[in-house]
């Protein structure tokens, strides 16, 4: 019974942590709804006045972006902002032929009167953070706009964001990501679904109540003095954006989130690219939890509620570890449930935590209907998308849990960029992308084994107990089977 007791304790703890996280999401939903009733009366720069128009530097940190560099530079060159108040820095750490093609395109843009500089480093010290920091040393702008290589801001983007800096306490203005290839595949649809929830529910829900949010690494603007006051960019975590965001807010800088300003971008279309992005985000989140936890707890400038939301924010990625624990232990729990009749009341109590899924379902539906409408057809489509998303998210739980554990235990790793594709429609092909990994990791093999493990879980539903089976966990095991099967087979077939 000792082993069974240990399994029950670990399983129950993970369920409780998921439930507390769900409650926090519900609180963010209430915040979000309340925020819709507020009007923005904050002071703004009048950009029609030359005197009030500040100097802006756009930083473009890039590394081996063969497929999207031309598109990126052509797009940024169209930015509608006074040329005498705009500087563009191409922070190019590339090691392939894009160095030369980018240099040629930059020369053409210079000839058009654009103030654009090609800054190349001889090493990648600090990776993206190091490039941003080096560019900042010579940046002329009072404000620093940052775009990753796969982002395509609208022409009036600076005119939509810069005016908010009239409030001298604002250190960052962040915009919402949009997705130019949302409907390319099931993979892009579920990525868009997850990101939409973050950029509506979470960012608005936190920001509207003064809780900490994060600059998302791109599609935002920093006040230069805020970056320096917060300690500048540091490359000791894989999510330098989250790190600097927390250091700035701990110094009482305000962040402004603009839900209505969209910045289009391309989602990864191949699962290996999505894996590298997920690994970096989740490991970086855990690294920042280690780095920032004590600073958040000891801060005298923020409320207890802001501290709670901040800690849960930093623990976002750790939820994958809790999901994986619950998933793996759910099959032993099925057998324990049917072997020890005296634990019946415990299992009745544990069934209450299905409400966590219901909370997520309600929160995400509110975000979904705001975008697509509140019709019966949309609700049916939402149900299918929600369970597809949840299944595949659980399928990523092993991969993301490894990233989280590495982050919590301090294992260092290089910043691995996400390959870009320049793919907008189903007709476009990612085949032959030179940046894709060609090997299969051991993680993929384990994901295949877990797929079979959860198939056994479904089989177990038919054979346990004396009453013709126990199907309470069957839907859960089915979703896990589908999720791990999707990730496993897509990883096998998505090699270059």
Q: Which residue has the tokens 């290589």?
A: 149
Count of CB atoms situated within 10 Å of the CB of 372: 14
Burial of 131 (0-12, 13-18, 19+ CB in 10 A): buried
In 179-270, which residue ranges form alpha helices assigned H by DSSP? 186-197, 203-207, 224-229, 240-250
Beta bridge partners of 223: 143
Among 274, 292, 161, CA closest to 218? 161
Nearest-angstrom CA–CA distance, 262 and 259: 7
Structure tokens belonging to residue 380: 């049916």
How far from chain centre, in Å, is Cα 249? 19
Nearest-angstrom CA–CA distance, 339 and 341: 6
Beta bridge partners of 57: 87, 144
CA distance readout (Å), 110 to 89, 106, 120, 156: 12, 6, 17, 21
Count of CB atoms situated within 10 Å of the CB of 370: 14
Nearest-angstrom CA–CA distance, 480 and 459: 13
How far from chain centre, in Å, is Cα 373? 25
Helix axes 355-372, 376-395, angle to 10 degrees: 130
CA distance readout (Å), 187 to 220, 229, 361: 26, 40, 19
Mapped onto helix, strand or coil, the DSSP state of residue 344 is: helix
Structure tokens belonging to residue 414: 């290089």
Mapped onto helix, strand or coil, the DSSP state of residue 92 is: strand
Give the chain's length.
Answer: 496
Structure tokens belonging to residue 22: 């769900």
Is the distance from CB of 299 to CB of 307 less than 8 angstroms? yes
Q: Would you name the residues annotated as active-site residues?
A: 93, 241
Q: What is the DSSP letter of 199?
A: I
């Amino acid at each position: 019974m000792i082993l069974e007791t240990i399994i029950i304790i670990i399983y129950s703890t993970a369920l409780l942590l998921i439930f507390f996280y769900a409650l926090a999401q519900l609180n963010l939903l209430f915040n979000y709804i309340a925020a819709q009733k507020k009007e923005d009366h904050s002071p703004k720069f009048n950009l029609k006045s030359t005197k009030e128009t500040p100097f802006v530097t756009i930083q473009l940190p890039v590394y081996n972006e063969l497929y999207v560099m031309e598109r990126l530079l052509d797009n940024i060159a169209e930015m509608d902002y006074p040329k005498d108040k705009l500087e563009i820095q191409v922070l190019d750490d590339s090691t392939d032929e894009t160095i030369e093609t980018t240099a040629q395109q930059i020369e053409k843009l210079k000839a058009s009167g654009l103030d654009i500089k090609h800054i190349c480093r001889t090493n990648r010290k600090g990776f993206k953070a190091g490039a941003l920091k080096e560019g900042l040393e010579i940046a002329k702008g009072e404000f620093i706009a940052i775009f990753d290589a796969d982002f395509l801001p609208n022409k009036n983007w600076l005119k939509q964001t810069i005016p908010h800096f009239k409030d001298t306490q604002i250190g960052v203005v962040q915009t919402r990501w949009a997705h130019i290839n949302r409907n390319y595949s099931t993979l892009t649809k579920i990525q868009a679904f997850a990101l939409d929830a973050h950029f509506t529910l979470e960012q608005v829900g936190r920001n509207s109540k003064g809780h900490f949010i994060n600059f998302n690494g791109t599609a935002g603007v920093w006040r230069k003095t805020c970056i320096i006051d917060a300690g500048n960019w540091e490359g000791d975590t894989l999510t330098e954006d989250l790190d600097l965001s927390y250091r700035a807010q701990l110094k009482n800088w305000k962040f402004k989130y603009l839900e209505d300003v969209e910045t289009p971008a391309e989602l990864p279309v191949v699962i290996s690219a999505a894996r590298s992005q997920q690994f970096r985000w989740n490991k970086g989140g855990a690294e920042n939890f280690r780095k920032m936890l004590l600073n958040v707890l000891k801060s005298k400038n923020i409320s207890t509620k802001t501290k709670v939301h901040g800690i849960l924010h930093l623990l976002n990625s750790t939820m994958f570890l809790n999901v994986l624990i619950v998933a793996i232990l759910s099959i032993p729990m099925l057998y324990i449930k049917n072997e020890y009749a005296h634990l019946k009341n415990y299992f009745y109590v544990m069934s209450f935590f299905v409400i966590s899924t219901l909370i997520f379902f309600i929160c995400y539906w509110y975000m979904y209907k705001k975008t697509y409408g509140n019709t019966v057809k949309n609700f049916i489509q939402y149900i299918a998308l929600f369970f597809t998303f949840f299944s595949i998210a659980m399928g990523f739980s092993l991969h993301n849990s490894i990233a989280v554990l590495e982050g919590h235990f301090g294992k260092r790793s290089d910043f691995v960029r996400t390959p870009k594709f320049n793919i907008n429609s189903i007709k476009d092909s990612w085949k032959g992308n030179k940046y894709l990994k060609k090997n299969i990791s051991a993680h993929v093999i384990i994901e295949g084994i877990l797929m079979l493990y959860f198939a056994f879980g479904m089989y177990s539903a038919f054979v346990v107990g004396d009453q013709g089976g126990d199907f309470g966990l069957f839907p859960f095991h089915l979703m896990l089977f589908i999720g791990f099967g999707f990730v496993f087979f897509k990883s096998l077939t998505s090699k270059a």
